[in-house]
Amino acid sequence: AQKVTQAQTEISVVEKEDVTLDCVYETRDTTYYLFWYKQPPSGELVFLIRRNSFDEQNEISGRYSWNFQKSTSSFNFTITASQVVDSAVYFCALSEVGSGAGSYQLTFGKGTKLSVIP
Amino acid sequence: KAGVTQTPRYLIKTRGQQVTLSCSPISGHRSVSWYQQTPGQGLQFLFEYFSETQRNKGNFPGRFSGRQFSNSRSEMNVSTLELGDSALYLCASSLGLAGLATDTQYFGPGTRLTVL
């Protein structure tokens, strides 16, 4: 069975600090996708990034960066110079092939609640 | 493009009642997935519909059901509500194409269901 572990339940940082959110996954699939979603207090899950299992290049998007290491089954997310608007719950997710052709479902971690203090 | 919309946003029901939640996917998306989010269990997959057919199902009792219409809009129904069904129900839409290469699930704002 697939599993996603986000060991950090809650993190608090002061504005402008850098913060890294950890994600460790387990899967037997050789092809899979990893995702990060942000859930602000409004409740909607906002898609941040998708990374496939064959692409271990790190990615940077503005203040966000992601480090994918297949050797350690980790897909960590770093926010540089955090801002109050970054306060949210962040979820790491792993795709799992479903029973129907072309179907897949997401297995989510428990989430990390990030609070950025002004 | 308009995002995924869900109605209603909030719902209060009593035990034993049934409820229907609605989801309209992003235009052009043919796959709709439903997830339940609770503080204890986190986000759990309920089922996925594609072209009006249930293509995938999670580990939920038969009280949870759904359907999809020809315009890709989807509804989920929960019958004989229990207190434990109180949750945020999230709908996600994607293109639904075979394989994973081009698909990302985009989520709606959710329906918060409270069972008293």
Average pLDDT in the B63-73 region? 97
Beta-carbon contacts of residue A23 (< 8 Å; ≥ 6 apart): A4, A5, A6, A34, A36, A74, A75, A76, A77, A92, A109
Which residues of chain A are within 8 Å of residue B90 when distances are taken between CB atoms?
43, 45
Task: Extract the tokens encoding B25.
Answer: 């996917």
List the single residue in B with minimal CA-CA distance to A6: B42
Highest-scoring range by mean pLDDT, A5-9, A67-71, A97-101: A5-9
Average pLDDT, chain B: 93
pLDDT-based confidence at residue B45 (cuts at 50, 70, 90): very high
How many helices (H) does chain B have, and how many strands (E)? 0, 11
For B99, other C-beta atoms within 10 Å of its C-beta total 11
Please tell me if residue B12 touches chain A, with a CB cutoff of 8 Å.
no
Phi, psi dihedrals of residue A34, rounded to the nearest 5°? -115, 145
Q: Distance between CA atoms of A1 and A27, rounded to whole angstroms?
A: 7
Mean pLDDT of the B21-43 span: 95
Determine contact: B92 vs chain A, CB below 8 A: yes
- Tell me the pLDDT band of B12, cut-offs 50, 70 and 90: very high
A16-70 residue pLDDT tens? 999 999 999 999 888 888 999 999 988 899 999 999 888 888 888 899 999 999 9
- Which DSSP letter does residue A42 get? T
- Average pLDDT score over residue span B54-70: 95
Residue A94 near chain B (CB below 8 Å)? no
